[in-house]
Structure 1
Amino acid sequence: MSEHEELTTRRLFLSRPTEGDIDALLAIHRDPAACRHNPSDALVTRSEAEERYGRWDALWQLAIVQRQFEAHCPSGYFPTGNIDLSSPEIGSVRNPDLTYLPEDVIELGREIPAELALIAVEIVSPSNPDNDWNGKVRDYPRMGSRSI
């Protein structure tokens, strides 16, 4: 495993989940005691566990990309996710998984002009890959934003 797939401390070893962990994930999140303090974490079916694994894997991929990009990010930019990039000229709004924005745009609110983004990062969604591969790949350049 690479450095991005393991974290070890004196008392803890964490590794990136794999598809082979789905049954264990279901067993843990099916146990009422494990979800007592966060009932929304409870799972009932294997398909729910597969979906949860897929979301965790996408987040892990995103964290790897963010760590790699931060090593090269110019000063004056900050990473953020779940913020709308807009382009009134083409009438489009996109919400990338990760983007880097200039620090002075914080006061603009939740909808930021797309051309201000240093980059827009998308992790291809297993549930809607056509939107990621076609719609977003088409829209980001038209909106004036660089994407990967």
Structure 2
Amino acid sequence: MDASGRGHTAAGARRGGFRAERAADGRYRWQLKAPNGRVVAITPAAFESAGEAERGFDGLRAGADELTARITHVRDGIGWVWVIPGSRNLPEVRSSRAYERYATCQNAFRRFVVLLSKQPPRELHEPAGPLRRTDGR
């Protein structure tokens, strides 16, 4: 957790990098920030824990070279967003904002893939299970 108690930030990732945060409904989502601090991509609040969000991010990071996006026009407003579809065609991750031009949106997705592939693997922490004595008591 960070100092505000609202999120989990990777060490040294104050301005850029991965961040898992708790949504208002109690579920978790992750976001990826560029080195300048701008949020590049976000996920829906679909994870039960920060650890699950980290595992989802790491799975996407591991396959960054194979990612393809669907670029679509926003429903209410002007612009384009990129979306990486997940299971059942629901968004796995999407751009954090709409882009005025289609080509700018394409370039933003390419920059996301480069940024994602540069992220270090997550140190995945499994929740501690119940302690069991080894002496049979």
Is the TM value for this pair above 0.5? no
> So what's the TM-score if we normalise by structure 1?
0.25
Higher relative contact order (CA 8 A, sep 6+): 2
- Structure number with the higher helix fraction is 1
